[in-house]
Amino acid sequence: MLLGMVYGFMLLDERDGGIISYLSITPFGKGGYLSVRMFVPVVFSFVLCFLFFISTGLFHDQQLIFKIFIALIISFEAPIMLLFLGAFADNKVEGLAITKGFGIFLVAIPLDYFLAGNWRWLLSFSPLWWIERAAFQTNYQWIYLLGAAMVHALFIYVLY
């Protein structure tokens, strides 16, 4: 989410400077510009996340393919944050407030440990909840990973 926040603030700064309106007349266009802005933090996030898994041994008992998939899905937090800032912030001050409010998605992770039974499904609005369930549950890991991918894709589609 940190890289998404950095690139989101870059997007807000370029929007404040009027640079994005100049990009709309180029062959690349606004859509191409935004796609590149979303792709770069995903790549950086994936590399950093995967290196974190390797260096800390967090998923040492998991297969390499699982580590790759979970790092890939976690890396899509960056464009969610970038698009969230681009969609709802009009300036950098509002962007800072929104990034603080975006932390509400982080609440789902510790709450999952305190809630029992079907109450946990109330937390499924958070993309991070799906990742946490895939990472730390022994049963149905791949189903939760698929759910995480679908929730992340839905967030990116709606915000785009």
Segments forming the whole domain that contains residue 114:
2-159
The answer to whether 46 and 67 are in contact (CB under 8 A) is no
Q: Are 83 and 7 in contact (CB under 8 A)?
A: no
Most confident of 42-46, 131-135, 156-160: 42-46
Instruction: Quote the CA–CA distance of 82 and 65 in Å, as a whole number.
Output: 27
- 137 CB-near residues (< 8 Å, 6+ apart): 144
Q: What is the pTM of this model?
A: 0.87
How many structural domains are present in the chain? 1
- 80 pLDDT band, cuts 50/70/90, is very high
User: Measuring CA to CA, which residue among 44, 19, 26, 4 is closest to residue 159?
Assistant: 4
Q: What is the pLDDT of residue 135?
A: 84
pLDDT tops 90 at residue 59: no
